[in-house]
A and B are shown apart, each in its own frame.
Chain A
Amino acid sequence: MFELCIPEFLGGRCIPSMALFSQLLIGLINGSFYALLSLGLAVIFGMLNIINFSHGAQYMMGAFVAYLLLQHLGLNYWMALIFAPIIVGAIGVAMERLFLQWLYKLDHLYGLLLTFGVALIIEGMFRNQFGSSGLPYQMPEALTGGQNLGFMFLPNYRAWVIVASLTVCLGTWFIIERTKLGSYLRAATENPALVSAFGVNVPRMITLTYGFGVALAAFAGVMAAPIYNVSPQMGAELIIVVFAVVVIGGMGSIMGAIVTGFGLGVIEGLTKVFLPEWSNTVIFIIMAIVLLVRPAGLFGRRT
């Protein structure tokens, strides 16, 4: 056990290591949601040139699908982790076919407006159906309890969230940057006409990319369900923070999105320890500083 103190001019607070590490852990958890969501936004933006404003609503749908699968079909958390992304991803595919595909020729602001409208529809309908108060989702049996690491107590479920989201993030990076499929994707991002000349079905690739990005959001939603309550507005404010994360990182780089997401989660956690009154605005302040110092974002190319 030891204590950490901050300088007098910042308040001169002293914090026991236990509290520090547990906030750090919460920061990593939030960071893994930021990373998963900004990764999905970056993947979608790369292919479709659209900022997916319904990403927060799709994250919320992931959590709700998990809840409904458990309530009505008795499917447990592990099944939900597989099926919720598939179901919500399929809804995303339908959405792309019905709405988004008509917008690619237009100014991409229309994509933002359309997906904002869809987010309002989804969140409004869930609020009508389930009310605004949160619904509890039971933690899976196998992940209850925790480990005493000496300097802190590590709940198993939280460790699992961090490991699982890191794996999914790095897996996505690997697929896009290191596989044949990924090279098609990257090529289609650069020059869709040329890629379709090689016989690749680019429109289908775009549809599936959108579905995949949405599935990532739903996956994050399932993982969030046991930690936070499942509620219709759980995605609305999160998505605005994720937008700030995306502005900070820039959407040009997959690894950039992952690093920025986790990094900002940790910074937010540390702020909660040392300067609690700044903790919910710190990411926006960092965004403002990055805009002043490096307008293109930490990993971005000048657009």
Chain B
Amino acid sequence: MTDLTAGAQAKTSRSEAIAFILMVVCLAIAPAFIYPVFLMKALCFALFACAFNLLIGFVGLLSFGHALYFGWASYLTAYSAKAWGLPPELAILTGVATAAVFGLIAGALAIRRQGIYFAMITLALAQMMFLVAVRAPFTGGEDGIQAVPRGRLFGLIDLSNQTNMYITVVVIFLAGFLLIYRVINSPFGEVLKAIRENEARAISLGYKTERYKLVAFVLSATIAGLAGGTKAIVLQIASLTDVNWPMSGEVVLMALVGGLGTVFGPVAGAFVIIAMQNYLAQVGQWVTVIQGVVFVACVLLFRRGIVGEIAHLLRIKL
């Protein structure tokens, strides 16, 4: 398992603090240079990738079905905002709660098997819920749920204003990011890392590893739900793309490109992949092929990912 985490070695966390401040500064000035909708979309996916990375990077569990939580949260947020007229914060909360419940059920099933089986089970359960989404009447089938109202946050802040929306997304992203950071640096997080390194040993030390894994899984699914719900409000749409298996693959790719097991890697990876999709949108189907090539190249030549590679070169922790 150790080589999954090549980026997380050194001692100091001052480097992490500096990187965090740099990231916040970038987010503050970026809207002046980059199209805000692109930034907001990338931030939602960055949070999604961070949630996924919590499992693969810090517990050693590869979930190949994270689209389930992202997509269903997106649907429930969109539906509750549009059909029930909930304000955005409650709509997102509805989505998050849905993701948490699904995460609890799927997690409880998937942790009954290890390693490669875990990946196959999460993928199969996600596919099942994709098929349910295809047929469920409220999801709108192929059309999805469109024209989702952004509404007023807490009844006060008008989110149809792009600046307000941007600030809200940045706050949500940073909150999720810091929560994950807090978790992986807590005593609970240390146990997760122990499970990643050697589960049998952690069991022999008296830890109920299944419970730790389940809590981590639910947490990851919940944050993925937060990302999906926010995305539904930002882009004002929830569709089958969000729940289908290529989405589960995409989030794996984002974390892999950025650096599995690094704190900042998934953020970098998400921006790279979303930018790539934007610029390559004209070449249509080639996007899939290029994503496949990036997958193969990362696995064979570039396993540390962008951030992991930087951390390795500078001998710091990122």
Contact = CB atoms under 8 A, between A and B. Distances in A.
Given A107-B1, A117-B299, A287 B121 contact: yes
A285 interface: yes
B193 to A, nearest CB: 15
Contacts of A51: 116, 119-120
Interface in B83-129: 109-110, 112-117, 119-121, 123-125, 127-128
A45 B115 CA distance: 13
Contacts of B132: 281
A114 B300 contact: yes
Interface string A273-303: 0000100110011011001100110000001
Contacts of B15: none
A90 interface: no
Contact of A120 (B125, B291, B299): B291
Contacts of A128: 284-286, 289
A128 B292 CA distance: 14
A106 B124 CA distance: 25
Contacts of B256: 113
Interface stretch (A20-28, A74-82, A238-246): A238-246
Contacts of A246: 120
Contacts of A114: 295-296, 299-300
A255 to B, nearest CB: 19
Contact of A291 (B113, B123, B288): B113
Contacts of A181: none
A114 B249 CA distance: 11
Interface in B191-205: none
16 contacts: A107-B4, A109-B116, A116-B252, A117-B296, A120-B292, A121-B288, A124-B286, A240-B245, A247-B121, A247-B124, A281-B132, A287-B121, A291-B113, A292-B112, A295-B113, A303-B113
Interface of B: 1, 3-4, 56, 62, 64, 109-110, 112-117, 119-121, 123-125, 127-128, 131-132, 135, 245, 249, 252, 256, 284-289, 291-296, 298-300, 303
